Amino acid sequence: MSHATIPGGFRQIQRHDGIFQEQVHDAYKSKAKLPEPTVCPQCGAVYHEGRWQWQQAPANAHQETCPACHRIHDQYPAGFLTMKGEFFSAHRDEIMRLVHNHEKHERAEHPLKRIMAVEEKDGATLVTTTDIHLARGIGEALHHAYQGELQYHYNPEQNLLRVSWTH
């Protein structure tokens, strides 16, 4: 695989790299501590006990757009998952069901984990996500279900993750 195709700032990391455990700078995380409760006027997620959750917001809740809606508005994904290969092409419908089911499951618990878009690009399918952990989780789920080759490229400056699955 040619590294010329990887944009600047990304470096390859191993699947179990501890990088994901680190606190990294993320421009989409609020710099100031949000008042609680804060409700996102776009999606209705509520910031409570230090994290965004799906719950009913009181009428007097502070309003501020959550990081996921902010990224969707800016069309600025955090995670990029590229899927390609003969196996993928032959089983695309089934695999895309797994991708969407994984997101649905994660999003139910974590409002900031969402798929932003699914695009066809250069014979591959690109799924973009609002959260790097969702892109990684979908990659893990694909590898667990079907094997294939999984690669991660991480950009620590901007906290972006590119996952590529080839099968």
Interatomic CA distance for residues 154 and 74, integer angstroms: 21
- Residue 165 DSSP label: E
Whose Cβ is closer to Zn ion: residue 107's or residue 167's? 107
Interatomic CA distance for residues 142 and 28, integer angstroms: 27
Whose Cβ is closer to Zn ion: residue 40's or residue 132's? 40
Which span sits near Zn ion by CB under 5 A: 7-15, 32-40, 84-92, 142-150? 32-40
The alpha helices in 48-150, defined as continuous H runs, are: 67-74, 86-90, 92-109, 132-146
CB of 16: closest distance to Zn ion in angstroms?
A: 31
Whose Cβ is closer to Zn ion: residue 67's or residue 139's? 67
Interatomic CA distance for residues 107 and 131, integer angstroms: 11
Interatomic CA distance for residues 67 and 51, integer angstroms: 11
Binding mask 60-79 for Zn ion (x = CB under 5 A): ------x--x----------
Interatomic CA distance for residues 80 and 127, integer angstroms: 6
Residues near Zn ion (CB under 5 A), total: 6
Which span sits near Zn ion by CB under 5 A: 33-41, 55-63, 75-83, 92-100? 33-41
Answer for which of 10, 38, 39, 40 binds Zn ion (CB under 5 A) is 40
Whose Cβ is closer to Zn ion: residue 36's or residue 157's? 36
Residue with the two structure tokens 């995380």 = 29
Binding site for Zn ion (CB under 5 A): 40, 42-43, 45, 66, 69
